[in-house]
């Protein structure tokens, strides 16, 4: 009986997950005439700089989110429940706005005649060109994905039993040692979850790089969009790029999961 109840779910997954992946894989391994070919895979050599740029910018954005998000989550975990709920609400409010609108807002802030340069001009300071740069793309990633780093880390730290911290203090550990030996190791599952939730959308984004990068900072998402919707229009090449990008994401997740498994063993 329990297996029969799983049939609708299995049908849904087969129809909307497995079938599209099979179709994409078919296009990736065939030519316009329908014959099997690895030509699309070998053509990816031309786009190695785009792959490297996507991975590099996603890595920078992930590291920045970790450097900002972990202290924020730790400080928030030590506040009162009222303060925690208020901070989380304020953090989530921008997420209720459309992703595209939030990115457009940053365009008006970073452009040459934007709010920042107007302020610099008012203060008689040198103006800065920020829009259409890699820095603007990374800033957009950090702004949009920072909550995905803070929330998992905050949740994990909240679940650490207070008795463990008190036991470490009773054994003579000061606050710094308690954090280094107890809190941080126990919070690593949240860190790994946050890293995954930031890195995966960052490496595949195209809206942020298109708007804040001005089309000059081509990333994998932009490259795929060009093959399916742009002037290049090559379903087969676009499908191969999608397959390779999915493989990169899966490998990254697997590596992070292995680190997490090793940490669990170490803690035990």
C-alpha separations of 197 from 8, 111, 147, 248, 262 in Å: 28, 28, 10, 14, 20
**pLDDT tens-digit map of 58-114:** 999 999 999 999 999 999 999 999 999 999 999 988 888 889 899 999 998 999 888
Give this prediction's pTM: 0.88
For residue 211, the domain's CATH number is 1.10.3720.10
Note whether residue 113 is domain-resident. Answer: yes
What is the predicted pLDDT for the residue at 11? 87
Tokens 């603007």 sit on residue: 136
Q: Check whether residue 74 and residue 156 sit in a common domain.
A: yes
User: Measured between alpha carbons, how far is 263 from 145 in angstroms, rounded to an integer?
Assistant: 25
Please give the average per-residue pLDDT across 149-158, as a whole number.
95
Give residue-wise pLDDT tens across range 220-243.
988 998 898 877 789 999 999 999
Residue 252 counted as domain residue? yes
Q: Let me know if residue 111 belongs to a domain.
A: yes
Contact criterion met (CB below 8 Å) for 140 and 106: yes
Radius of gyration of the chain (CA): 23
H or E element in which residue 134 lies: helix 134-159
Whether 4 and 62 map to the same domain: the answer is no
- List residues bridging with 30 in a β-sheet: 36
Domain shared by 53 and 159, yes or no: yes
Burial of 74 (0-12, 13-18, 19+ CB in 10 A): middle
Inside any domain, residue 42 = no
Sign of CA dihedral 260, 262, 263, 265: positive
Same structural domain, 148 and 74: yes
32 with 234: CB under 8 angstroms?
A: no
CB atoms within 10 A of CB 71: 12
Place of tokens 């014959």: 35
pLDDT of residue 88: 92
Q: DSSP alpha helices (H): ranges in 160-183? A: 162-170, 175-178
**Does residue 265 surpass a pLDDT of 50?**
no
Domain match, 62 and 32 both: no
| pLDDT of the residue at 266 | 39
Number of domains in the chain: 2
Q: Does the pLDDT of residue 1 top 80, yes or no?
A: no
Domain span holding position 26:
1-37
């Amino acid at each position: 009986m329990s297996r029969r109840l799983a049939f609708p779910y299995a049908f849904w997954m087969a129809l909307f997950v497995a079938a599209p992946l099979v179709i994409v894989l078919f296009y990736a391994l065939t030519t316009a005439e329908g014959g099997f070919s690895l030509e699309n895979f070998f053509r990816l050599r031309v786009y190695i700089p785009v792959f490297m740029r996507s991975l590099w910018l996603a890595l920078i954005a992930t590291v920045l989110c970790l450097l900002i998000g972990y202290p924020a989550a730790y400080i928030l975990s030590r506040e009162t429940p009222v303060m925690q709920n208020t901070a989380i609400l304020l953090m989530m409010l921008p997420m209720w706005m459309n992703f595209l609108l939030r990115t457009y807002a940053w365009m008006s802030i970073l452009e040459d005649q934007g709010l920042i340069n107007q302020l610099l001009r008012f203060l008689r300071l040198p103006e800065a060109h920020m829009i259409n740069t890699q820095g603007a793309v990374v800033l957009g990633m950090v702004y949009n994905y920072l909550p995905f780093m803070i929330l998992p880390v905050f949740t994990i730290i909240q679940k650490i039993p207070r008795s463990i911290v008190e036991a470490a203090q009773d054994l003579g550990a000061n606050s710094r040692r308690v954090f280094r030996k107890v809190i941080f190791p126990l919070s690593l599952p949240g860190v790994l979850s946050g890293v995954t939730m930031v890195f995966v959308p960052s490496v595949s984004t195209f809206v942020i790089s298109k708007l804040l990068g001005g089309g000059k900072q081509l990333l994998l998402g932009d490259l795929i969009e060009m093959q399916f919707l742009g002037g290049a229009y090559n379903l087969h090449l676009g499908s191969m790029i999608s397959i390779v990008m999915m493989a990169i994401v899966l490998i990254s997740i697997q590596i992070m999961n292995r680190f997490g498994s090793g940490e669990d063993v170490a803690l035990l």
